[in-house]
Chains A and B, each alone.
Chain A
Amino acid sequence: MADAKSQPTQEFERVLKDSATEVASFERHRKSPLERAQHVLHGNPAFVPLIVLVISLLLFGLLLGTKFFSAFALTLILQQVAITGIVGAAQTLVVLTAGIELSVGAIMVMSSVIMGQFTFRYGLPAPISILCGFAVGGLIGYVNGFLVARMKLPPFIVTLGMWQIVLAANFLYSKNETIRSQDIAAQAPMLQLFGGQVRMGGAVFTFGVIAMVLLVLVLAYVLTQTAWGRHVYAIGDDPDAAELAGVKVEKTLIQVYTLSGLICALAGWVLIGRIGSVSPTAGQFANIESITAVVIGGISLFGGRGSILGMLFGALIVGVFQLGLRLLGTDPQWTYLLIGLLIIFAVAVDQWIRKVAG
């Protein structure tokens, strides 16, 4: 029937009926192993960091033996990356929309200070203070999202400004006071909830580690299996196309930044558990560490590509290098040097994977 009604009227099109009929035959040419690898990585962006993670684990395992390959040392890595992992999850959401969130660390510290000060300065019950911490984290995230989505300001500038504002507010409000660990343990142990531990043989899992893993798994589900998650990817890819295709871009962006603020507040709570005290000077490098985890984890800074599991692997790679090199007794600067190399390598791989389309 297609033949009957679509007789080409153009002279030059008459020859079309003789042209090759097996469509998509180009699919059949043998792909080189490299091309096939490129396609696999295109479909599964968390593979590269996973491979790097396994290789670095094996490498340090061979060099250090059981000193490194013990349940205790490996779970110690998890404890050390718990905060980075949670903040990295917040960062992942924003980076997937082709934004960047520089105020994550500041929001985290601000929330932890509010949780602590509301309890000790105003005598509020700990659960109420914790809720207030979450509310402030969410509110700051909402303001970021509003400025980015409605006012169309660049995310880099908005969050750069917010980082300074929140950090300064944090020092002004807390009067640079630290709340001591033993006071918290005595009066409001709930604040230190995430410092609690589960021991299995030599393995030590803090509640913070468990929270981080659960958070990443839940977000992985949300990002891949729900409409909202697909919209986050679509916005990062091409916001105009997403809008025309029926995605409420502004609303989703505001939700992303608000959720990221709430996750940072969770990180603030976990931070109290990790260091025991409430300190306005803690977590100074959380924003850089989270961006490092996101980039090494293969999430594209140009948005729309990558998997949150990759971010977790990226955070773990950094943790493995830090602990491994410390156990080897090298200068800590080697850690930074190697991580710097990894970042550049990761971005190069991202660019290469993108070429699959071209």
Chain B
Amino acid sequence: MTDAILQARGIVKRYGRVTALDNADFELRRGEILAVIGDNGAGKSSLIKAISGAVVPDEGEIHLDGEKVQFTSPMQAREAGIETVYQNLALAPALSIADNMFMGRELRREGVMGKWFRMLDRPAMESFARQKLSELGLLTIQNIHQAVETLSGGQRQGVAVARAAAFGSKVVILDEPTAALGVKESRKVLELIQDVRSRGQSIVLISHNMPHVFEVADRIHVHRLGRRLCVVDPKECTMSDAVAFMTGAKAPPPEAIAA
């Protein structure tokens, strides 16, 4: 058995008469960047939601770090160390960067002020946010009190990635992180992803952007018709091959299916 941090076997998810996931398997190895690609409607999002606790699969097992887990809400997945950066980023636009990073897990003051008056520990949250952002080379944001809506798209993405990286002790899932970004901002986010990986976290990257996928991924999970079709190595396979597998234009090599 390889060193898998997150593993799913035979996941089934039906929505009424539509089967979104049909006995899907999934494996994320420790410290790798695994890209998940697939056509629209192939079930990528359902797969990711099942792993991150946003939907509860009808059948199948998920193992995190060798232990069987069953998430019924994203909160449970977060507590287990799986953080997700959603396509809509899940940021509250009118709140500050620090408030957003700690949404749902705020720090409170010590002593009477925190215990009885439930006062937030703003200085601690702000210094933590500042530290995390600078670790990821994002301190071009000048004012930590700034409302998120005054940031550019790339900076917002950066805040969301920083939040996930700061708290996702085991796995960070990124759903289309570069879809809405310009060339330069995409580059910044790809660097961020590599930074996060270099600190030992495992990453799942969902993307439609083949060049980005082939640049950063260690392995590529090709999803088709609700199940894992194959896993390919980006170094041994071309982009057109991957697209051919994904769309069904070409059958994948048998050794890739076994993986």
Contacts and interface: CB of A to CB of B under 8 A. Distances in A.
A231 B120 CA distance: 12
B118 A228 contact: yes
Interface string A240-273: 1111111100000000000000000000000000
A13 B137 CA distance: 19
Contacts of B92: 233-234, 237-238, 241-242, 245, 304
A356 interface: yes
Contacts of B99: 230
B103 A230 contact: yes
Contacts of B124: none
Contacts of A233: 92, 94-95
Contact of A246 (B104, B183, B184): B104
Contacts of A199: none
A244 B149 contact: no
Given A230-B106, A356-B150, A5 B120 contact: no
Interface of B: 54, 74-75, 78, 84, 86, 88-95, 99-100, 103-106, 108, 117-120, 137, 140-142, 147, 149-150, 183-184, 187, 190-191, 194, 198, 211, 214-215
A226 B120 contact: yes
A219 to B, nearest CB: 13
B95 A230 contact: yes
Interface in A303-338: 304-305
B94 A241 contact: no
A122 interface: no
A181 to B, nearest CB: 39
Interface of A: 2, 5-6, 8-10, 12-13, 16, 19, 23-24, 27, 42-43, 221, 225-228, 230-231, 233-234, 237-238, 240-247, 304-305, 356-357
A35 to B, nearest CB: 12
Contacts of A24: 140-142
A316 to B, nearest CB: 25
Contacts of B187: 6, 8, 13, 16
A12 B183 contact: yes
Nearest to A221: B117
Contacts of B78: 246
A260 to B, nearest CB: 19
In the A-B complex, the 5 residue pairs with the closest CB atoms: A246-B104, A244-B90, A227-B106, A234-B92, A357-B149
A5 B199 CA distance: 14
A245 B90 contact: yes
Given A12-B183, A16-B184, A27-B142, A6 B194 contact: yes
A357 B94 CA distance: 9
Given A24-B141, A246-B74, A304-B92, A10 B119 contact: no
B103 A357 contact: no
